Chains A and B, each alone.
Chain A
Amino acid sequence: MVIDNMLYNVGRYVSLLRSAVARPEKFSMYYKETMRQMDAIGVGSVFIVLLISVFIGMVTAVQFADQLGDSFVPSYYIGYIVRDITIIEMAPTITCLVLAGKVGSNLAAEIGGMRQKEHIDAMEIMGVNTAAYLIMPKIIAAVVVIPMLVAIAAFVSIVGGYLSTVVPGSLSHTEYVLGLRSFFVPRYVFMMFVKAAVFAFLLTSVSCYMGYYVKGGSIELGEASTSAVVVSNVLILVFDFLIALLLT
């Protein structure tokens, strides 16, 4: 039963995405909608991303500084560890998990609300390909702006690490910067952007799917919104592992 249900949902999700990949009725309308979504997803999420990433950087640095304090590992390693943990894992994964909560629930509720108020039916009857018009601009916007947010998150996390170790005096400026410059592997930055793009696609497409097929009333809309966040988060973690396997 559970497997039947899962296969049914996967089939319907793939079918929806196939419908969403279509020639736009009017390019300018799709462009306008994509820009609107970039603003909503990107600019609208900057503050929360800054807030979370600065604390993640600070916590990572403080924890490692504490653990390495009495060891023979050189203290500049703290900068190196903060940089790599941030780039490889914290910035893409934590940022996208947070965005799945903020953006994903919002998208599911927005599209689900349109379904319940018959806005989607109204567009269908006008001749609009609703799968394409309502979903594709959101996916494109997310795949473009979320990697940018992740890059900002990585930078701010590293700054957070600096603030929590160098400013209180547990590490010198030179040591932290030396750590940041040591053992740099450019491929990790590529991996960060791959993760960000894949997670962005997953969290928007899954959330749009949950909203697009919502039925019933406000309780079902709430459930769709919750499912959007839960399923997106699980998929982000699964794909995090898969990408790590493939790219390391």
Chain B
Amino acid sequence: MIRTEDIKKSFGENDVLKGISTEFYAGKPNLIIGSSGAGKTVLLKLLIGLFKPTSGKVYYDDTDLFSLDDDALREVRMKVGMLFQGNALFDSMTVGENIRFPMDMFTNKSLGEKEKRVDEVLEMVNMEGINDRFPSEVSGGMQKRVGIARAMVLEPKYLFCDEPNSGLDPKTSILIDELINDLTHHNKITTVINTHDMNSVMGIGENIVLLKDGNLVWQGNKNEVLESDEQVLQEFIFASPFLRRLREDALKQRHAHE
């Protein structure tokens, strides 16, 4: 579990986060949503420790992330996997070498053991047999999966995904969501996903945090999204007339069943 306590972050005069206190649960996909400029990416980077807060605390279970020295912080980070918006795969390395890199750096496994683990994680993301291809030789969706495979290779306790669906077609987006959801439940990891994608919210949102202008304005799950009459939530998620109609239909159907 990851917990934040009154996290504030300012860049000069600009207060980007104005005091976020929340929890991200283990074994569940935790989604951070909000419009552009709401502070989602800053919150995610604070959770990972790439930014330091102006004030407030981030706890990984009982460990205060920002009280750690550099070595201890690196120890914690070895339990963290991250899928970047642009994948951040190393262009000069093959897919296999990309996935193997964290093992090369931090384990004493033999080459055979490392290759075996690479095959395992590639199988986990349904991407067997592309070990020798370069990132530029595979599609955007495949790159996302390779990014997930690399994030999972050291069996992390915490997984962070920054806009995992950006640039993907709806079908591939759903596949990526399902993959992240399965890995989260199967491995009981704390997954935090920063997303704009409403399919993700309604598909895998077991704990959703809505940010607006640097404040946490709503928290709940995908069922509560549908039921809630909170204006700020409805304005953001069901922004178009088409989505509002869909919501009304879904609620009617649900009430008819009840």
Are A and B interaction partners?
A: yes
Tell me whether A125 and B50 are in contact (CB under 8 A): yes
Q: Which of B86, B88, B105, B160 contacts A25 (CB 8 A)?
A: B105
Closest CB-CB distance, A188 to chain B, in whole Å? Answer: 41
Tell me whether B78 and A122 are in contact (CB under 8 A): no
A35–B50 CA distance with the chains assembled, in angstroms: 30
Chain B: number of interface residues, binned into ranges: 20 to 34
Q: Which residues of B contact A26 (CB under 8 A)?
A: 104-106
> Residue on B with the closest CB to A19?
B70
Tell me whether B105 and A126 are in contact (CB under 8 A): yes
Secondary structure at the B interface, as helix, strand, loop or mixed, is mixed
Over the window 90-105 of chain B, the binary record of Cβ atoms lying under 8 Å from chain A Cβ atoms (1 yes, 0 no) is 1100000000011011
Most buried by A among B48, B50, B88: B88
A119–B92 CA distance with the chains assembled, in angstroms: 12
Q: Which of B50, B75, B101, B105 contacts A121 (CB 8 A)?
A: B50
Tell me whether A125 and B77 are in contact (CB under 8 A): yes
Tell me whether B88 and A127 are in contact (CB under 8 A): no
Interface residue total, chain A, C-beta cutoff 8 A: 15
A119–B93 CA distance with the chains assembled, in angstroms: 12
Q: Which of B48, B75, B105, B160 contacts A128 (CB 8 A)?
A: B105
Closest CB-CB distance, A36 to chain B, in whole Å? Answer: 10
With an 8 A cutoff between CB atoms, is A167 at the interface?
A: no
Tell me whether B88 and A126 are in contact (CB under 8 A): no
**A-B contact list, 13 entries, CB within 8 Å:** A26-B105, A117-B91, A118-B85, A119-B90, A125-B77, A125-B80, A125-B160, A126-B102, A126-B154, A127-B74, A127-B78, A127-B105, A129-B70
In order of increasing CB-CB distance, the 7 nearest A-B pairs are A122-B88, A118-B88, A127-B77, A127-B78, A127-B74, A125-B82, A118-B84
Name A's B-contacting residues (CB within 8 A).
19, 25-26, 29, 117-119, 121-122, 124-129
Q: With contacts A117-B88, A117-B91, A121-B50 known, what are 20 further pairs, Cβ within 8 A?
A: A25-B105, A25-B106, A26-B105, A26-B106, A29-B104, A118-B86, A119-B88, A119-B90, A121-B82, A121-B84, A121-B88, A122-B88, A125-B50, A126-B78, A126-B154, A127-B78, A127-B80, A127-B105, A127-B106, A129-B74
